[in-house]
Structure 1
Amino acid sequence: MFHDSPIYDRLIAECGDVPADVRREAERVHRELELVLRPLQSPGFPDPSGRGAHPGAGWQRTALLPGPRPQ
């Protein structure tokens, strides 16, 4: 990343390579999430919403107007 940078090399020696550690941890979490979410993405797994797997299907946020909520 920072080749030939004595300041960066000194920080790594004192504190460890924090950006590399964070990158490795993020990649590990990403791999775990892929494993956990993979059954939900498989074609044979039923869609819990019942709406199908086309673009736009699924949860969408809608705005509420100010004032009392309808019952």
Structure 2
Amino acid sequence: MDRLDGQSDVSFADKTDAPIYAGLVEEQGDVPAEVRRVAEETLREVDRALDFSSVRSPAALR
């Protein structure tokens, strides 16, 4: 699976590569991938909430 930034999702494991990890993912879900998704979503929300592009610096007012 590809992420929004174009990098591969390294948390996905083939059962033959990491059977213990794959078993945990089946039982608990892919926690690292979910944390990454929530963190990326939070960063996007913060970028929108703290958009200072319309604020001019005092030097620009002179």
TM interval, shorter chain, is 0.5 to 0.7
**Paired residue for 1:7, among 14, 20, 43?**
20
Q: Which residue is 1:32 aligned to?
A: 45
Q: Where do 4+ consecutive residues of structure 1 move more than 3 Å?
A: none
CA RMSD of aligned residues (A): 2.0
| Structure 1 unaligned blocks of 5 or more | 53-71
- Return the TM-score normalized by structure 2: 0.63
Higher relative contact order (CA 8 A, sep 6+): 2
- TM-score w.r.t. structure 1 length? 0.55
Corresponding residue of 2:31? 18
Larger mean CA deviation between 2-11 and 25-34 belongs to 2-11
How far is the alpha carbon of 1:45 from its aligned partner? Answer: 1.4
- Structure with bigger gyration radius: 1
